[in-house]
Amino acid sequence: MAPRKKKTVDMSNSLADNAYISGAGTVMERQITETLETNYMPYAMSVIMSRAIPEIDGFKPSHRKLLYTMYLMGLLGSQRIKSANIVGRTMQLNPHGDAAIYETMVRLAEGYQALLHPYVDSKGNFGKAYSRDMAYAASRYTEAKLSPIANELFCDINKETVDFVDNYDSTMQEPTLFPVTFPSILVNANTGIAVGMASSICPFNLEEVCRTTIAYIKDNDCDITDTLLAPDFPIGGELIYDRAQMEEIYRTGRGSFKVRAVYNYDKDANCIDITEIPPTTTVEAIIEKVIELCKNKKIQDIKDIRDETGLSGLRITIDLKNRTVDPDKLMAKLFKSTPLMDSFSCNFNILIATTPKVMGIREILSEWTAYRVECVKRRVYFDLNKAKDKYHLLQGLAKILLDIDKAIKIVRETAEEKEVVPNLMIGFGIDEVQAEYVAEIKLRHLNREYILKRTSEMENLEKEIEKLEGILKSRQKVYNIIIAELENVIKKYGKPRCTRIVSGEEAVIDVPEEEIADYPVTVFITKDGYFKKITPLSLRMGGEHKLKEGDEIITTVETSNTAELLFFTDKHQVYKAKVNDFDDTKASSLGEFVASKLDFDEGENLCYTAVFTKYEGYMMFFFKNGRVSKVPMKAYETKTNRKKLINAYCDKYEFADAVHIPEDCEVMLKSSSGRMLLLHSGALQAKTTKDNGGVAVMTQKKGQQLVKVAIYDGSIAKPHRYRTRTLPALGSMPLAEDEGASQLSLI
């Protein structure tokens, strides 16, 4: 593409008159791809690498900065201090505001109950993960310190086990990772949304994770599902277990499983107490959904529902209307219709060497083991160098033992202080480091006892050096160290599962369809969007229909109370309902306003209503330009209980009318010019794409449009006159004898 010319903007009325700014007023036009590469991609990469996706140690940068600051403050095993103090100190590493830092602390805190093994020991109100409205207290009121398990995060961090980098203003250093002694990436839940990708890692029981890691280190081909039973959530709940489903999640790192609430029935109070809920929802969301179901009369056995969460923990109480209500059947209905049973979606996306990667459990354990092996080797190498340095110094000290008097004589006879070290080097044949060490020995230590004690350490150091070198040469010895550390973690911090595993057969999750009374009704729908469902008896006894001024009935269908409804709107959407969803009424009432009942979008109006019993036949959409679209009814059938579908029909052309036909038949079309066309729907091919543009059927001249459509009822005297062999067609002007019939049939 040829380069565009620069455009200049008149800056005569701006500050440019007083101060010249280089390049001011120049607008550069360039390719959008170039802008994305230079402006957006760095931001996207920053979010992925430095904010939203956890690394193999189980932490995001914000978590790591906070915990390391608390470690530097000496909060490991000490008294708690004010959270505000911790937040302020964390700003040395984290350039974000205090609110963001404090929120990070809240999510890591024991009081928040979001983690199986919290890293922050908290005191005060830190809110709850299962409550949307229970806000945490300000940082000046709460206190915190590091939990005992945080010892495993910082184990040997000062022995060069991990790399350190400068903080954002290069005033101090921080670790790039933690040398954590167990796979914390799998123990505590971690979720994050980056740019173009996300991460959702469910938590597992600490002991199960460590046992699985040990089994994997011993045998890379071990069956992971034997030791890693299933995810474990701090809130508890019941996990609906499917081995094949779980194996797929373990293998690919993607998938989902269901978790449902735990409840018990109080017979004396005739109420249900819910004490554990899925991790993906909140108490408020559950209560709101139950209230909505009760208002819509979907559930009629509940008298009251309230949140009784207190110091004893979570509790949602449901009062039953009477003692004949079966609590298990009621809960089965609520599991199906509310977040009391919900799916947790897994996406094990982890940063490995600054590259996001979705991995299964086996691959995660492989990466963690490799990382931990490196940490242990670096620690052993650090200890080895320290031991060698000390051994080297003691070798020089041992030579002094041969003649202490000579050493004293050299020091006393040396005229200048700077010559002491060189003279000791010459006198005993030791190097500068050893001579410096000997020269710094206090006078009180120049006795045989002290020197013998120091030199006796050489034998132990030799054994230690030999042991450390052996570890570095043997990968199996490194593995043995890791296994021993994992066993120690299990012993110190292992605890029973919080989430109970329930097999698919044991969990009654298939709720029988609620029986809907099947009786005949007549459905009336008005032009303004009011819906009436009237029984034959009420219809016979009722008088004239009550309607709003200017309104009229446009649809009358005799059907059953079990029939289905599709409400098509002028926003090219369709709302699904059942006739049973509407109350029985009388002709003397206005009926129910469909837009309010089904929660239409603002400014959305009803265009057409299809009443049917099965998803069979076709929907035909007619547009004012004479085009017709034919869509199978199956296209509107969904496996889930979705109540609203977008792109229900074509939005490219102006809508004229719609018709539901159980099977192919003839349809009469009438234009504003007066011409009529008899179309057989079999001539059109059905397309499963709901918003397809259809085909041109009735040609419209300038200023004309399709105005009426109806299923042909056989009332026209000469129907062949209005049929055609080719499409599109103009249609024919009606004969005098057909005029009345056509008007009647097209109402």
Residue 747 has pLDDT above 70, yes or no: no
In the structure, what pLDDT confidence band is assigned to residue 442 with cuts at 50, 70 and 90? confident
As its CATH architecture, domain 59-179 has: Alpha-Beta Complex (3.90)
Q: Is 2 helix (H, G, I), strand (E, B) or coil?
A: coil
| pLDDT recorded at residue 541 | 82
Copy the structure tokens of residue 323.
Answer: 């003692």
Amino acid 522: pLDDT: 94
* pLDDT class of 11 with cuts at 50, 70, 90: very low
- CA distances to 245, 247, 365 from 251, in Å: 10, 6, 12
Neighbour order of strands in the sheet with 592-593: 553-560, 520-526, 530-534, 592-593
Give the pLDDT score at 20.
58
pLDDT at 18 over 60: no
Lowest mean pLDDT among 143-152, 202-211, 710-719: 710-719
Range name among 67-81, 189-203, 445-459, 500-514 with the lowest pLDDT average: 500-514
Phi first, then psi, for residue 556 (nearest 5°) are -135, 120
* pLDDT tens digits for range 611-654: 999 999 999 999 999 999 999 999 999 877 778 899 999 999 99
The upper half-sphere exposure of residue 214, i.e. CA atoms within 13 Å in the direction of its Cβ, equals 18
Query: Residue 203 — φ and ψ, nearest 5°?
Result: -85, 150
Q: How far is residue 721's CA from residue 740's CA, in Å, rounded to a whole number?
A: 16
Average of per-residue pLDDT across 239-257: 93
Q: What percent of the chain has pLDDT over 90?
A: 64
442 Cβ contact partners less than 8 Å away, ≥ 6 residues apart? none
First to last CA, the chain: 58
pLDDT value at position 3?
A: 45
Least confident of 116-125, 160-169, 438-447: 438-447
Q: Which pLDDT score, from 0 to 100, does residue 744 have?
A: 41
Q: DSSP per residue over 306-356, as a string?
A: EE--BTTB--EEEEESSTTS-HHHHHHHHHHHSTTEEEEEEE-EEEETTEE
The answer, yes or no, to whether residue 21 has pLDDT greater than 70, is no
Distances 378 to 133, 151, 464 between C-alpha atoms, Å: 47, 18, 16
Tell me what pLDDT residue 19 has: 53
Query: Residue 440 CB: number of other CB atoms within 10 A?
Result: 9
Q: What is the mean pLDDT of residues 339-352?
A: 94
Element (H, E) at 144: strand 143-146
Q: What is the mean pLDDT of the chain?
A: 89
Tell me the residue length of the chain.
747
- In the block, which residue shows the tokens 């729907």? 681
What pLDDT does 458 receive? Answer: 87
What confidence tier does 118 reach under pLDDT thresholds 50, 70, 90?
very high
What would the mean pLDDT of 166-190 be, rounded to a whole number? 94
Residue 682 CB coordination number (10 Å): 12
DSSP string covering 583-636, please? PP--TTS--EEHHHHTTPPTT--EEEEEEESSS-SEEEEEETTSEEEEEEGGGG
Q: What is the pLDDT of residue 6?
A: 44
**Strand 706-711 with 606-612, pairing:** unpaired
Give the alpha-carbon dihedral of 699, 705, 711, 716, to 10 degrees: -80
* pLDDT for res 739: 65
**DSSP structure class, residue 49:** I
Q: Of 150-159, 279-288, 458-467, 509-518, which range is least confident? A: 509-518
Task: Out of 21-30, 161-170, 306-315, 633-642, pick the least confident.
Answer: 21-30
Question: Burial of 73 by CB count in 10 Å (0-12 exposed, 13-18 middle, 19+ buried)?
Answer: middle
> What six digits make up the tokens of 67?
């915990």
Residue 738 has pLDDT above 80, yes or no: no
Q: Are strands 606-612 and 198-201 parallel, antiparallel or unpaired?
A: unpaired
Q: What is the mean pLDDT of residues 203-219?
A: 96
Taking residues 115-119, what's their average pLDDT? 96
∠ CA 360-365-366 to the nearest 5 degrees? 100
Domain 262-339 classification at class level: alpha beta
Residue-range domain boundaries for the chain? 59-179, 262-339, 374-493, 515-613, 615-636+644-747
Mean pLDDT, residues 411-423: 88
Which of 517, 504, 399 lies closest to 458 in space, CA to CA? 399
pLDDT at residue 350 above 80?
Answer: yes
Tokens of 306: 């309230």
Q: Residue 358 has what pLDDT?
A: 95
d(CA 495, CA 204): 12
> What value does the mean pLDDT take over residues 53-76?
95
Residue 740 pLDDT level (bands cut at 50, 70, 90): low
Nearest in space to 232 (alpha carbons), one of 264, 257, 199, 263: 257
Which pLDDT belongs to residue 501?
Answer: 94
Residues known to be catalytic: 141
Fold that domain 374-493 belongs to in CATH: Topoisomerase; domain 3 (1.10.268)
Q: Please give the Cα distance from 580 to 514 (Å, whole number).
A: 11
The mean-pLDDT minimum among 22-26, 257-261, 542-546, 574-578 falls in 22-26
Task: Sort 649 into a burial class: Cβ within 10 Å, 0-12 / 13-18 / 19+.
Answer: buried
Burial class of residue 572 (count of CB atoms within 10 Å of its CB; 0-12, 13-18, 19+): buried
Structure tokens, 351: 């940063």
| Over residues 146-159, mean pLDDT | 95
Residue 176, SS3?
coil
Q: What percent of the chain has pLDDT over 70?
A: 94
- Selected from 3.40.50.300, 3.40.50.620, 2.120.10.90, 3.40.190.10, the CATH number assigned to the domain covering 615-636+644-747 reads 2.120.10.90
Strands of 467-529 (E only): list them. Answer: 500-503, 520-526
Q: Which helix (H) or strand (E) holds 670?
A: strand 666-671
Instruction: Using the predicted structure, report yes or no on whether residue 337 has a pLDDT greater than 60.
Output: yes
C-alpha span between 322 and 567 (Å, rounded): 37
Q: What pLDDT score does 665 carry? A: 93
Give the per-residue pLDDT at 7. Answer: 45
Better-scored residue on pLDDT, 596 or 641 = 596
Residue bearing the bigger pLDDT, 649 or 411 = 649
pLDDT digits (tens, 9 = 90+) for 552-567: 999 999 999 999 999 9
Alpha carbon distance 565, 717 (integer Å) = 34
- How far CA 507 is from CA of 234, 258, 339, 502, in Å, comes to 21, 11, 16, 6
Neighbouring residues of 139: CB distance < 8 A, sequence distance ≥ 6: 82, 83, 84, 86, 87, 98, 102, 105
Backbone angles phi, psi at 442, to 5 degrees: -70, 155
Of 130-144, 148-162, 591-605, 729-743, the least confident: 729-743
pLDDT attached to residue 9: 45
Looking at residue 508, what is its pLDDT?
55
Strands 606-612 and 553-560, how do they pair? unpaired
Q: Measure Cα distances from 33 to 7, 48, 196 in Å.
A: 20, 20, 17
Q: Which two tokens stand for residue 627?
A: 């085009």
pLDDT band at 36 (very low <50, low <70, confident <90, very high): confident
The residue-averaged pLDDT of 241-258 equals 93
> What is the pTM (predicted TM-score) of this model?
0.71
